[in-house]
Amino acid sequence: MPVKAENHSQWLNYHHLHYFYMIAKEGSIAKAAEKLKIGQPTLSTQLKQLEDALGKNLFERHKQRLYLSEAGKIAYEYADQVFNLGAEMVEALEDRLQNNRIHVQIGALDSVPKHIILEVIMQAYKYGNCSVSVLEGAGGDLLRELSVHQIDLLLSNYPPNVDFQTVYAKSIAKLNVVVCGAPKYKHLRKGFPASLEGQPFIFPTMHSKLRRDLDHFFKISGIRVDRTVETQDTSLQKLLGQEGVGLIPIAEVAAADLIKEKKLVVLGTLKGIYEEIWLMAAERKISNPIAAQLMKGLSL
């Protein structure tokens, strides 16, 4: 569809722009033509018409290969924003018109307590008529999904790193951390935390903030523990704890049911150690209103 800019005499044809964009993405006219299912001569003609309209060569040709010119690099940056925004618009409209409900997609790390996920879902329902999808997985994968708008929100026990500058986060909960174990370990309540010396532990993995805090706590306390298992999955931690494989440092609320059933016993609270939960969203032109409300108002 041709659109005329207010301050320029030339017309910008968005079909031609899309063809240029695909050639740049695929790296050649042949590959772009195959992807677009049109002939190479037709595609070459469309590209030439766009270059003529702009008065700039968008590609430089060396040894039968195409490279973006300086003008082409600028055009590609704008085209990328145009077509990503268009895809975002379609996605937003499809989500919000489905069954007259706003669809909210939430990612959650395996290490986030399930009751936290439940509370976020229940709060989403309070903010409006919505449906919710929950995707659990590894932090790096979910952060990438969030940054390209495949999910609306992410629940994590650590904030985003500098590699994801378009992602912003807020702390929504700080949970007390206790040391739990199978009933056979209940004698370790006496003299806690010194009683933990030499005991087997099931620890979170190294990328976790809680793990770094635990290492620091035991180092300054002069307590040496046996790190028998490392896993970020709190469900697996609790299963291993019940089997007596080792002690688990965990947010007390995450083990509340098992403590109530006496399958796990609390040996003591680690003073100054917290499991902090973060809610993250990515910058986007068209925001999901339920996700925006959660980012603005949620605090547990």
The confidence score (pLDDT) of residue 8 equals 43
C-alpha to C-alpha distance for 26 and 99, rounded to whole angstroms:
37
CATH number at residue 223: 3.40.190.10
Domain endpoint, select from 35, 65, 87: 87
User: Do 197 and 52 have their domain in common?
Assistant: no
User: Do 136 and 193 have their domain in common?
Assistant: no
3-state secondary structure of 127: helix
C-alpha to C-alpha distance for 89 and 289, rounded to whole angstroms:
14
User: Do 149 and 193 have their domain in common?
Assistant: no
Single-letter code of the amino acid located at 156: S
CB contact at 8 A, 133 and 104: yes
Side-chain half-sphere CA neighbours of 58 within 13 A: 28
User: Do 271 and 186 have their domain in common?
Assistant: yes
User: Do 182 and 155 have their domain in common?
Assistant: no
User: Do 164 and 289 have their domain in common?
Assistant: yes
User: Do 54 and 202 have their domain in common?
Assistant: no
CB contact at 8 A, 75 and 96: no
C-alpha to C-alpha distance for 284 and 74, rounded to whole angstroms:
21
CATH number at residue 83: 1.10.10.10
Tens digit of pLDDT at every position of the chain (300 positions) = 444 444 444 567 888 888 888 888 888 888 888 888 888 888 888 888 888 888 889 988 877 788 899 988 888 888 887 887 777 677 666 655 555 678 899 999 888 888 889 999 999 999 988 889 998 887 778 888 888 788 899 998 887 775 666 788 899 988 999 999 999 999 999 999 999 999 999 999 887 788 999 999 999 999 999 999 999 888 899 999 999 999 999 998 888 889 999 999 999 999 999 988 999 998 876 678 899 899 988 776
User: Do 192 and 142 have their domain in common?
Assistant: no
Peptide bond just before 204 cis, omega within 30 deg: no
Question: What is the count of structural domains for the chain?
Answer: 3
Tens of pLDDT, residues 26-40: 888 888 888 888 888
Single-letter code of the amino acid located at 290: I
Domain, as residue range, for 244: 174-276
The confidence score (pLDDT) of residue 97 equals 55
User: Do 63 and 105 have their domain in common?
Assistant: no
C-alpha to C-alpha distance for 118 and 124, rounded to whole angstroms:
10
Whose CA is closest to 299, among 134, 116, 159, 130?
116
The confidence score (pLDDT) of residue 115 equals 85
The angle formed by the CA atoms of residues 47, 52 and 56, to the nearest 5 degrees, is 90
User: Do 132 and 202 have their domain in common?
Assistant: no
CA distance readout (Å), 64 to 19, 22, 32, 72, 88: 19, 18, 15, 17, 35
The confidence score (pLDDT) of residue 28 equals 87
Q: State the DSSP code for 210.
A: H
What kind and span of H or E run contains 171?
strand 167-181
Q: DSSP letters along 191-204, please?
A: TTTGGGTT-EEEE-
User: Do 256 and 192 have their domain in common?
Assistant: yes
User: Do 140 and 287 have their domain in common?
Assistant: yes
Domain endpoint, select from 67, 87, 107: 87
